[in-house]
Amino acid sequence: MSEFYWVWAFISAFWTTVVVQCAKPVNWDQCSQVNDWLVPWVRDTMDMHKNGAYHLERKVLKQSDGLGRLDGRGSDP
């Protein structure tokens, strides 16, 4: 049963966040532009399942000098 809990949680969150909010006339302008919010979200979700969460952030941190800098500068004195 626990393996289906995340599916139920996702559907419930999607319903309350997207469907209910897009049913309000004041939000129709933002919700009608599906290509602006749904397509990037699907792409990000597929990338997260393929590479793991925060893949790009981990990659940048591995390239940095440990201080979050990519330019090689040392810490300020």
Report the pLDDT value the prediction gives residue 24, as an integer from 0 to 100: 92
Residue 74 reports pLDDT greater than 60? no
Measured CA to CA, the distance from residue 50 to residue 73 in angstroms comes to 33
Residue ranges of the domains in the chain? 1-31, 33-77
Report the pLDDT value the prediction gives residue 18, as an integer from 0 to 100: 87
Residue indicated by tokens 């990519």 = 70
Helical (H) or strand (E) element with 73: none
Short-list 33, 46, 37, 48, CA closest to 14: 37
Helix 34-51 / helix 55-63 crossing angle, nearest 10 deg:
60
pLDDT tens across 7-65, in order?
888 889 889 988 899 899 998 898 888 888 888 888 888 888 899 888 888 888 888 76
